Chains A and B, each alone.
Chain A
Amino acid sequence: MFYLSRIEHTLRVPPSLLNLPILDAIKGELEKLFIDKVVANLGLCISVYDIRSVDGGFIFPSDGAATYKVVFTLIVFRPFTGEVIIGKVQESNENGLRISLGFFEDIYVPVELMPSGSEFTPDENNGGRRRWVWIYNEVPFDIYESDEIKFKIHSIEYPAILVEQPKESNSKFPMEEKPKESINVKPFAPMVITASLDQDGLGPVSWWDGSGEAEDEVEEDS
């Protein structure tokens, strides 16, 4: 799920940071640049692990800042295909589920990767709000929002940045408005994970822990 990645970068350290020890200044600048951002084909940068080397310190003409060549190691979040992870259901709609890990929220389970025999049906106990139900041997298993859920990584994509943004998402806070607006208008996500629930042992954690019935069924299956 997490990896170390070695990166070389030509870093501009503004003169306002000259009063700091050089490694602290560089680390701060690296954190500003990389942390909580996605690098395509590398993953989501979590933390600066260490700084391997600092070279140079050249001041370009007509620029007041020193420019260093820095080699450093980052901790990145990049799950591998087939990895099993636990997250929380954040949203469910007719296109499937959206799962959040707290620090990363662009994990989608499309309809075709839901457990086979799943239906998106109204919930009588919850005022007719629809939710996903897996029907196994005519026994319904519900997936509620905010359930702890186990999923398997199916694929990871790094979509290219859109040249023209869709008009609706130009508003100032696209994330907050999203649930109210039409669901088609999603904010741009630089890393999208497609997950699968279609295997025994996957799905909400409560389906599989302890209670004997569900487990027995699976053992017969496998």
Chain B
Amino acid sequence: MSATSTDQQAGAVRHTRQAAASSRQASRRRAHSPVHPRRSAPLTIVMVLMLAYTLVPLLWLLLSATKDGPSLFSSFGLWFGHGFHLFSNIHAVLTFNDGIYVRWFGNTLLYSVVGAGGAALLATCGGYALAKYDFPGRRVLFAVVIGAITIPATALAVPTYLLYSKIGIVNTPWAVLLPSLSSPFGLYLIRVYAAEAVPDSLLEAARIDGASEFRTFRTVVLRLLAPGFVTVLLFTLVATWNNYFLPLIVLTNPKWFPLTVGLNQWNALASGVNSGGALVNYYPLVVTGSVLAIIPLVLAFLFLQRYWQSGLTAGGVKQ
């Protein structure tokens, strides 16, 4: 690579950076200014009702996690029971069966960090390509992706198992990880988002300046796509964290289970369908285990939304 071309590329990057920065500047708006609207009481009341609707069942779950087995089935659901058993319940969850819950938790973490991160990345690359590049087969491939997601995965469980067992990945983490790397919905979302957030003029300017496509992508586009990426990451994170069907069918050994399958197994034992599970009341385990399983997602959401918010304002670009 000659000096000239490097210079050119550096210039291109500067150029596009400036373009991006200026368009960002132009589109920046403080919350929803210019005129700061007044707070609306009726609107707040409507939204509080909606929030109550979503949170009451969760309140029940949270309160149930503070109860021991007997009071779970004798006390009023939306208030505390006899005594406060949250910590002993948590202790029981973490130590039951030699701490299998902790193992499931670790598996879930592995599946969702690798799966969701990878899925969001692949969807971002693919969606951007679909939105901005006219490569051969683009329309057909996109139609295949959208067409394939109309077929319900639950009904494909047995064929999937048979297929995966032929290539020998059944009952290994790969059988869960590889499929979760694919997020057609994320692809769709990024395609829509990239069409709006990445101005064609920017790409052309970069080309004129001789920057390679990859360099433009890496240095400019990725930043513009960040809010879309974080949104998709959020969705894929939830999807992999709560993935149930696929792991249920492709895994047989509990040591590879994610939380959902493990909790379901406990729940099946609790539902008396048991077998000497009789000697343990699994309900408090299921309830407290569920609360612990939801917390990381809520934390991830709180954490991610900071990026999401700043990114969204920055990326609010439109021609």
- Is chain B found bound to chain A in the same assembly? no
